[in-house]
């Protein structure tokens, strides 16, 4: 038998355990647990092509990293705007971005939390428009 055959019969723990030491025992309580059902968002900010979808079930910040595949993503601040859901109301806030955030054409920079309603159009740095829609039922 060649070396490759001998290697294939070793376990992963044996392969990566230094000689003369025993592998660590499994940690108790690490069994896989069922994943809780994910709550569907009530509202979603979506672009006209459906490529970008922003939503939150409490609070979320969005910025340049969320739009990196846009050729003009450099105009979007690293942390540009935030969404907050309170009860059944969704709010947006510009986070002191360089190129601003508009709701229905009105600049919201420095205005604090602004309520959104379905059909509102959010412009991010003047490079992408997102429309607030109610999420469809499954």
CB 116 within 8 A of CB 43: yes
CA gap 64, 11 in Å, rounded: 44
Calculate mean pLDDT across residues 5-10.
53
> What pTM did the predictor assign?
0.70
So what's the pLDDT on residue 57?
86
CATH dotted code for 51-134: 2.60.200.20
pLDDT tens-digit map of 55-92: 888 999 999 999 999 999 999 999 999 999 998 899 99
Poorest-confidence range of 3-7, 38-42, 64-68?
3-7
**Structural domain spans, the chain:** 51-134
Q: What is the DSSP track for 64-75?
A: GGGGTTSTTGGG
* Segment 106-128, tens digit of pLDDT: 999 999 999 999 999 999 999 99
């Amino acid at each position: 038998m060649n070396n490759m055959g001998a290697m294939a019969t070793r376990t992963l723990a044996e392969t990566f355990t230094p000689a003369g030491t025993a592998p660590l025992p499994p940690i108790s309580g690490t069994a896989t647990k069922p994943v809780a059902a994910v709550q569907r968002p009530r509202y979603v900010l979506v672009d006209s092509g459906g490529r970008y979808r922003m939503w939150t079930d409490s609070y979320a910040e969005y910025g340049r990293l969320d739009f990196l595949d846009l050729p003009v993503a450099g105009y979007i601040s690293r942390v540009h705007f935030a969404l907050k859901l309170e009860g059944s109301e969704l709010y947006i806030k510009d986070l002191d971005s360089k190129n601003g955030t508009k709701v229905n054409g009105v600049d919201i920079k420095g205005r604090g939390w602004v309520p959104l309603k379905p059909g509102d159009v959010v412009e991010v740095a003047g490079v992408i428009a997102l429309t607030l829609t109610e999420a469809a039922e499954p």
